[in-house]
């Protein structure tokens, strides 16, 4: 089957995955207002082309702390990727390496920090959830020893969002399968052969002899975050980690300015893909307010087209993180499926540039496109 866009990969993934797995991948919190708004916000933005420019050669590469990324894309941290394909984290990392873009490994991964580092020679970032202070320090030290280049601290998880699809499917850690779930699994033989026959994937970063206290293990497996983590703790983390540090999950520019003042190198404007606070704004709507932040900005949540990425760069982002779109490709085609999805986005970026009349990705400082009061983009 030939796919034409990310949405067609999504539809195929829905057919291939058991319902509880697809709902975990695709769902949001509560009424899924934020999840839907992430897409509506991108779709509301328009861009006016400036024509009769020579666009025979186009460049979508971007600078990131002295290096050039071939496209403004980072693969986002996502948990439990072994549910979509066996060794899903390794497959994502290898795909990113082939594409020349960074891959961000989640604390809640099914392949360990060390195994992913051994399996990929690409640029690896590590995303940190702080559930237990001592264990978080251990994870940071392991990521440094494995030569991960960036640490991405996620801060929008003082507690887990109310994900009603998961509750309805009884999707909890550790897994408990009901008869209805087992029947659903049996109706998806390809998934059962690739993933299900090996048993429920474990959180490999948490499977360590260093975690010996039963209460700590239970908290880690249920991903109960440390709600007391504050600015002083961020400063302590900054002192511990000697490489690039990002804070992910910010939606207010004042929080970003404070993080940068503490030594954070960049921030990720994100509402966790609509999976946490259902009344949160769409990150692409919040992005223009971050023009006051003197640091690189990444944005995520809701990106499905290359034109979405062009819009994000035009509104001030240095790059974007791709989460669900890459996972749809992983579920359908493994490593190659991830490559194909990102290549879709790359080609769509290129086509959008040509039709807009710009040879390079346009930043707000260029004066070519500026956000208006509605967040749309018009010609200057």
Q: Are 189 and 195 in contact (CB under 8 A)?
A: no
Give the Cα separation of 230 and 262 in Å (integer): 12
pLDDT at 373: 35
6-362 folds as: TIM Barrel (3.20.20)
pLDDT at 172: 75
Any bridge partners for residue 89, and if so which? Answer: none
pLDDT at 304: 98
In the chain, what is the straight-line distance between the N-terminal and C-terminal CA atoms, in Å? 43
Residue-wise DSSP of 81-139 = GGGTSTTHHHHHHHHHHHHT--EEE-TT-SS-HHHHHHH--S-EEEEE--SSHHHHHHH
- Could you list the active site residues? 272
pLDDT at 370: 47
pLDDT at 379: 40
Stretches in the chain below the pLDDT threshold 70 = 173-175, 208-223, 363-380
Q: Is the peptide bond before 331 cis (omega within 30 degrees of 0)?
A: no
pLDDT at 367: 46
Local structure of 156: helix, strand or coil: coil
pLDDT at 78: 97
């Amino acid at each position: 089957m030939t796919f034409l866009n990310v949405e067609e990969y999504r539809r195929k993934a829905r057919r291939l995955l058991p319902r509880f797995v697809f709902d975990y991948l695709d769902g949001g919190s509560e009424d899924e207002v934020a999840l839907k708004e992430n897409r509506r916000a991108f779709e509301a933005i328009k861009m006016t082309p400036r024509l009769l420019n020579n666009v025979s050669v186009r460049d979508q590469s971007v600078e990131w702390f002295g290096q050039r990324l071939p496209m403004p894309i980072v693969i986002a941290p996502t948990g439990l990727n072994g549910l979509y394909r066996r060794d899903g984290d390794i497959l994502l990392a290898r795909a990113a390496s082939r594409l020349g873009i960074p891959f961000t490994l989640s604390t809640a991964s099914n392949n360990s920090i060390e195994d992913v580092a051994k399996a990929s020679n690409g640029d690896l970032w590590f995303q940190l959830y702080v559930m237990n202070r001592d264990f978080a320090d251990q994870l940071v030290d392991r990521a440094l020893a494995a030569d991960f280049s960036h640490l991405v601290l996620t801060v929008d998880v003082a507690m887990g969002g109310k994900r009603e699809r998961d509750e309805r499917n009884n999707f909890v850690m550790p897994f408990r399968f009901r008869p209805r779930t087992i029947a659903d699994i049996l109706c998806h033989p390809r998934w059962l052969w690739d993933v299900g026959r090996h048993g429920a994937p474990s959180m490999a970063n948490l499977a360590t002899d260093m975690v010996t206290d039963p209460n700590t293990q239970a908290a880690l497996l249920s991903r109960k975050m440390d709600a007391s983590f504050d600015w002083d703790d961020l400063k302590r983390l900054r002192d511990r980690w000697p490489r690039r540090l990002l804070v992910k999950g910010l939606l207010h520019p004042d929080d970003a300015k404070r993080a940068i003042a503490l030594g954070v190198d960049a921030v990720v404007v994100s509402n966790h893909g609509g999976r946490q606070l259902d009344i949160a704004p769409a990150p692409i709507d919040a992005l223009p307010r971050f023009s006051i932040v003197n640091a690189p900005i990444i944005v995520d949540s809701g990106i499905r087209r290359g034109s979405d990425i062009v819009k994000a760069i035009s509104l001030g982002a240095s790059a974007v993180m791709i989460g669900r779109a890459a996972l749809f490709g992983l579920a359908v085609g493994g490593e190659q499926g991830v490559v194909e999805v990102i290549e879709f986005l790359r080609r769509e970026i290129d086509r959008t540039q040509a039709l807009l009349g710009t040879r390079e990705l346009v930043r707000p400082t260029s004066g070519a496109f500026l956000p208006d009061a509605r967040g749309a983009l018009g010609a200057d």
